[in-house]
A = this chain, B = another copy of it.
Amino acid sequence: MKKHNFSAGPAILPASVFEEAAEAVRDYNGAGLSILEMSHRSPEVSAMLDEAHQTVKDLLGLSDDFEVLFLSGGASSQFFMAAMNLLDEDRSAGYIDTGTWSKKAIKEAKRFGGLNLLGSSAEENYTFIPKGFDVPADLQYVHITSNNTVAGTQYHALPDTAVPIVADMSSEIFSRPIDASRYGLIYAGAQKNMGPAGTTLVIVRKDMLGKVKREIPTMLDYQTHITKQSAFNTPPVYPIYVCLLTMRWLKEQGGVNAMAARNAAKAKTLYDEIDANSMFKGVVRTEDRSLMNVTFVLENKDLEGDFLTACAAANISGVKGHRSVGGFRASIYNAMPVASIDVLIEVMKDFTKKYG
């Protein structure tokens, strides 16, 4: 029996995607070959890779000022690659510390140039998004983690600056429209809202490149992958293919605008229950709540194990909170059906009837 998968990542994808993805492992579109054994330079796989790149542009409304790449190494590799490719040794970038992933991005960027910490919510355990800070105009970029998977916060407005934004969108890519003109670089590990683990989407505005003087190993230079359209070396074909299947599904659903409306409604249902239910409470400031990762706790922490047991009995998996936050986290990405959220809410209501 299929579980209700609230895992933070790797995470739920549409059921139809799993079906198509499984079939392609047997035979890719009648090619007489599994997609796992097909040359990345074959006409079929080349066409698939082209479609994947183009669909990113279509979904996000990107102009030709941007290049789209599917790389590997996870968003964790972008923490250093972004700075290595964009940040001069004698220049500075602004960073905002909103938790686990921001901290790692900051640690790696420091190796390459000046780092200006514009804001941090560390002192309040990352329960809000810093706002109202000044952004020096001479920064090369301002880095944000647009959705914070661990804490459960999300930027609902970008920092007020003309400096290009570099955003880690791993856990919210394609969940809402973006104003592309504000971004110099966007990156996203696939395994939260776009596909399986194994590839990382990188979107770079061309005029951000060519400004650093350092020598960069070939595989770490965005320009290498731009020139060869993500196929300088053998790309992670299957993870990219599953991303494409998910993106096709997204288009059929009406694209990122339709998804944003649906995500807002889905998140509201769950937050409403958290706010109304006397036994539970949200973890982060209301105005900074993530529509993707809903963090909440029990007023009575002694009952945590019982709640997880009740979830498991209802075939719900993945709601245990990250160890740094505790409590619970329901990750309700694009592919999460309303019906699964309803099951979780039902379990919360029943739990309160029993223990409240």
Contact = CB atoms under 8 A, between A and B. Distances in A.
Kindly list the 5 A-B residue pairs having the minimum CB-CB distance in the complex, ordered from nearest.
Answer: A198-B236, A72-B72, A80-B217, A22-B25, A76-B233
A44 B77 CA distance: 26
A61 to B, nearest CB: 28
Contacts of A232: 76
A198 B238 contact: yes
Is chain A's binding surface mostly helix, strand, loop or mixed?
Answer: loop
A1 interface: yes
A10 B73 contact: no
Interface residues of A, number: 65
Interface in A102-142: 104, 107-108, 111
A243 to B, nearest CB: 11
Q: How many copies does the complex hold?
A: 2
A293 B42 CA distance: 18
A219 B79 contact: yes
Contact of A23 (B12, B19, B22, B318): B22
Which of A25, A111, A317, A318 has the most chain B CB within a 10 Å cutoff?
A25
Chain B CB within 10 Å, residue with most, of A10, A33, A199, A232: A10
B32 A13 contact: no
A36 interface: yes
A31 B215 CA distance: 47
Contacts of A40: 10, 197
A12 B37 contact: yes
Interface in A183-201: 189, 191, 195-199
Interface string A224-260: 0000000011111111001000000000000000000
A39 interface: yes
Contact of A242 (B22, B36, B234): B36
Contacts of A213: none
Given A34-B13, A37-B11, A37-B13, A80 B5 contact: no
18 contacts: A2-B33, A5-B37, A10-B37, A18-B36, A21-B36, A22-B26, A25-B25, A36-B195, A36-B242, A40-B197, A72-B73, A75-B233, A84-B217, A108-B219, A111-B217, A197-B238, A198-B236, A198-B238
A74 interface: yes
Given A7-B37, A7-B38, A39-B318, 16 more contacts: A1-B32, A8-B39, A10-B39, A10-B237, A18-B26, A21-B25, A36-B195, A77-B219, A80-B218, A80-B220, A111-B215, A196-B237, A197-B234, A197-B236, A198-B237, A238-B238
